[in-house]
Structure 1
Amino acid sequence: MSDSSSPQPQPGKPGGPGRFARSENGALVLCGARLADGRTVDVRLGGGRIEAVGTAGSLAPQGARVDLAGYLLLPAPVEPHAHCDTALTADSDGPASSSPEDVQRRTTEAALLQLGHGATASRSHVRIGDVQGLRSLEAVLQARRSLRGLADLAAVAVPRVLTGVAGADGLAMLRDAVKMGATVIGGCPDLDPDPAGYVQTVLELAGEHGCPVDLHTDGDDPARLARFAAMSGGLRPGVALGPCAGMARMPRSVAARVAEQLAAAGVAVVCLPQGDCTGLERYGSRVSRPAPVRLLRAAGVQVAAGSGALRDVANPVGRGDPLEAAYLLASLGEATPEAAYGTVSSAARATLGLPEVRVEAGFPAELLAVRGERIAGVLSLAYSRIVIHRGRVVARTSAVREYCDSAADVALELPRQSQR
C-alpha cells in the first residue's frame, strides 16, 4: 500500500514523471499538468521559455515528454534570503571552517538542497571583512560559477562596519567586493555605531554601481525604520529590508504607519517565517513571530518570504524550503495559501529583480511541478517535486509511503467499522 507523501528519493524510470528529459532540438512537453486555476494542460518549452500552453493532448508531440498527471504546475519559487557561507555547520565540532574550499562546498550543497525544493534562484548574504576578508565571497562566487545551468545564485556583500575610522576598511572592502562580482550590497546597520550613516553609505555606493540593496534589521524601532524608508525612497533597482520581525511586537497602529512609509518608499520586506537568521532569543522565552505580512501587504508593501538559516547555529534544523516558508505564513494566518505561495514565488522574484513567471506562452520556463491538486494541499504535504530551470528538468524528488500488511488491514477495516 503506497502513496506519494513521504520523502523517499527513488531512481528515475524511463518515461516516468521525474525523468531528466532531453531532446535533440531542446523542446520539452509537459503533459497533463494541472494549473492553479483548475485547468489541465500541456505545456511546450523551448529556448528556456514557455512556447505554448494548450488543452491536454492538443500540442504536437515534439521533443521529449514528461507526464505530469497528478501534479500541480506552478511558477518556480526562489530563495530571497539565504546564508550559504554558514549553511550546514550546525554539527561542526567547534568553530565552523571558513576555508575557501569548505565555504564553496557548503554553498554548493546548500544551493542544491534549495534547488531540490524548487528554488531555481537564490540570494545569499556573505560576510566580508574581519580575518576572513573577501575569501568567503570569492568561494561563493566560485560556487555560483559551478552551479551555472542548474540554479542562479546572487551574492550579497555584507560588511560589519561602514562608518567612522573602523568603517574605512569596510568601505574599501565593499568596493572590492562589487568589483569581484557581488551583485547586491547589504549588511546590518543596527550593528554599526551610526546606523543611519551605514545606510547612507550603502545607498550611495549602490547608486554608483546600480546595485540593489538588501539590509538586515529586526525592525523594532519605528523611528529608525521610517528613517531608513525615507533615505531609500526612489533608489532603483530597489531596497529590501528583512526580517523586520520586530514589527510584530509594535502596537498595530504604529506598525501600520511604518508599513505605509515603507510602501511609499518602494521598500520591499523579506520576512523569515522559519525564524531569525541570528539565533537571538531562539531558545529563550520569547520567540517572535515573523513580520506582520497581512498588515504590510494591506499597506501596499511588496513582501517576500525566505528561509534564512539552513542548519547552522541560528537554526540547526532549517530546511531551506520555500514551500515550508509559505506553509508557515498560511498556518499563522498571515496569508491565504495562494498569497503565501506568492511571497516565495512572484513577490520573491520581483524582490530579486528577476523576470515575472506565469504558466503562459512567452514567459521564462522556471517551473515547479508538485504532486497534488491545489496550492493549499501542496503546502500541507508536498514531497514529490519536479523542478524546471531554463526549460529543462534539473531536479526531482519522488516520494513513496508504504504500510505493513497489518496496518493496511486496519486501514481497510476502518471504513467498515464507521458504517456500523
Structure 2
Amino acid sequence: MSSGPSPSSPGCSPGAWASNDTASLLLCGARLTDGRTVDVRLGGGRIEAVGTAGSLGGGRSCGTRVDLTGYLLLPAPAEPHAHADTALTADEDGPVSYHPGDVQRRATEAALLQLGHGATVLRAHVRVGDVQGLGALEAVLQARRSLRGLAELTTVAVPRVLTGLAGADGLAMLRDAVKMGASVVGGCPDLDPDPTGYVEAVLDVASEHGCPVDLHTDAADPARLSRLAAMAGGLRPGVTLGPCGGLGDLPSDLASRSADQLAAAGVTVVCLPQGGCGGLDRRGTGTAPVRLLRAAGVRVAAGGGALRDVSNPVGRGDPLEAAYLLASREGLRPEDAYDCVSSAARAALGLPEVRVEAGFPAELLAVRGDRLSGALSLAYSRIVVHKGRVVARTSAVREYCNSAAAAELGLPRQGRGELS
C-alpha cells in the first residue's frame, strides 16, 4: 500500500499534484451516492459544475483531468477531535517528550496520516501549562503553518487546572494561548477539583475572545451534565463536548433527560468510536449513546481521538473507520454514520457545508467502490481533494497467485487487482 502524492499514480495526470488553488481540475467519471456517474469541474477552491459523464470536457479548457472511474465521490471528512501533541508516542520509551521539535514533527506526521485517510480539516487539542508551558502549542501552530495548502489544522488550548491557587497560572496560560493563536478554548473539567468553576473559567475566556469552546467530559453524573448544558446554552459561536461515553452508563431515563438538555442548549457531542482520549486519562470508556442523542436532536459528530498514544496504542485516526464502527456497533445507517464524520463534523468546527454540487467548497474524498456501505467496509484506495487540489492519494493492490479460483473471479492474468 502506498500513500501520498505521486505523479505517476494511475488515473491521475502529473498536473493534478502541481496545480495551484486557482487552477481548473476536472474529476471524470465519478460515482455519487445517488447512483449517478458524473464529471465534476473544480476551480478557485470550489465546485464549478457537476454534469453527466463526458459532458464537461468540451468547449472551455478543463485544465487537469483526474480519472475517477470506479470511485465513489464524497464530501471530505473532517477530524473534530485529535491530540496532536501526544500522537505517535505509544512506542516511545519513558515520558512523552514535549520538546517543540518533537511535538512539531509528530503533529505534522499525524496530520498527514489523517489527511491520507481523507480528513482535510483537523481540530487538535493541545495541553498548555504544567511542564510544557506554551511550547507544545507553539510547535503545533508551526506544524499548522507548514501544512498550509495541504490541510487545515486548528488548535484547542487545554489547561489542566483552572480553579483555586493552582488554577491561577492555568487561567493566565489559557489567555496567553488564545493571544498566541489557539482558536478554541477547552479542557477537561472532570480533572479539576471544581468542575463547575473550571467550566465557568473557560466560558469566560471564550466570551472575552469570541471563540468556540470544546470540553472533554465522560462524567456519568446527570446533575453535572445538566449544569454544564445550562452554562453552555446560548454561548456563541458554540460549545462542543466529547466523548461523553459516561452517558451510556446512565439508566435510560436519566440518559434521555440529559440528551434533551444537551439538545436544548445547542451543544454538539463529538463521540470517539475508536476509543482513547488523551485528555481524560481514562480507558475502557464506551461510546456515547449516539442513536439516543440524535433522536433527541443533538448534533453528533465522530472523531478519531488518540492516534497511537498511551490512550490507544493502535489508534488509526481514520474517519471512515469511525463511521464503520458507528454503523456496525451503534446501528446507524451508513449514510448517517458518514454524516457524523463529514457534515456534522464540519458543522461542529464551524465550517460551511460541503455537497457534490456547484457552488460548494471543493473538499472531497474519492474512495474505490460504488456504494457507501462498501466504502465504509473496505475503503483502502483514496484520493483526497482540498481547496480544489488533489493533495493525497493512497493506492492499495492485492495480488493472487495464478489459480483456477482467481480465474473464476475474473481477476487479471497475473492475479492482480486493486483493493477497494
- TM-score grouping bracket, smaller chain normalisation: over 0.9
TM-score by length of 2: 0.93
Structure-2 change in CA distance of 1:128 and 1:23 (3 Å): closer
Q: Does the Cα contact within 8 Å between 1:243 and 1:272 map onto a contact in 2?
A: yes
The aligned counterpart of 1:404 is: 401
Structure-2 change in CA distance of 1:133 and 1:107 (3 Å): same
Structure-2 change in CA distance of 1:190 and 1:87 (3 Å): same
The aligned counterpart of 1:188 is: 188
The aligned counterpart of 1:362 is: 359
The aligned counterpart of 1:418 is: none
Which residue of the other structure, out of 306, 311, 320, is the alignment partner of 2:317?
Answer: 320
Structure-2 change in CA distance of 1:202 and 1:54 (3 Å): same
Which residue of the other structure, out of 325, 334, 339, is the alignment partner of 1:342?
Answer: 339
Q: How does 1:19-168 map to 2 (within 5 A)?
A: 21=16, 22=18, 26-59=23-56, 60=58, 61-168=61-168
Q: CA deviation at 1:334?
A: 3.7
Say which structure, 1 or 2, has more relative contact order (CA 8 Å, 6+ apart): 1
Q: CA deviation at 1:93?
A: 1.1
Distance 2:381 2:54 in 1: 24
Query: 2:122 aligns to what SS in structure 1?
Result: strand
Q: CA deviation at 1:191?
A: 0.7
Distance 1:414 1:189 in 2: 56
Query: 1:165 aligns to what SS in structure 2?
Result: helix
Distance 1:412 1:14 in 2: 26
The aligned counterpart of 2:384 is: 387
Count of residues paired in the alignment: 403
Letter in 1 for 2:338: Y
Q: Does the Cα contact within 8 Å between 1:8 and 1:400 map onto a contact in 2?
A: no
Q: CA deviation at 1:20?
A: 5.7
Alignment of 1:206 onto 2:203:
no
Q: How does 1:272-291 map to 2 (within 5 A)?
A: 272-278=272-278, 282=283, 287-291=284-288
Q: Does the Cα contact within 8 Å between 2:202 and 2:213 map onto a contact in 1?
A: yes
Q: Does the Cα contact within 8 Å between 1:18 and 1:398 map onto a contact in 2?
A: no
Letter in 2 for 1:400: V
Letter in 1 for 2:298: V
* Cα distance per residue 1:329-354 (max 9 Å; x no partner): 10103411110000000000000001
Query: 1:131 aligns to what SS in structure 2?
Result: helix
Unaligned runs of 5+ in 1: 1-6, 416-420
Unaligned runs of 5+ in 2: 411-420
The aligned counterpart of 1:4 is: none
Distance 1:169 1:280 in 2: 22
* Cα distance per residue 1:380-401 (max 9 Å; x no partner): 0001000000000000001100
Structure 1 segments of 4 or more deviating over 6 A? none
Q: Does the Cα contact within 8 Å between 1:141 and 1:181 map onto a contact in 2?
A: yes
Distance 1:184 1:249 in 2: 29
Percent of aligned positions that are identical: 75
* Cα distance per residue 1:9-41 (max 9 Å; x no partner): 595426624856155860000001001111111
Letter in 2 for 1:353: G
Q: CA deviation at 1:281?
A: 6.0
Tell me which moved more, 11-20 or 161-170: 11-20
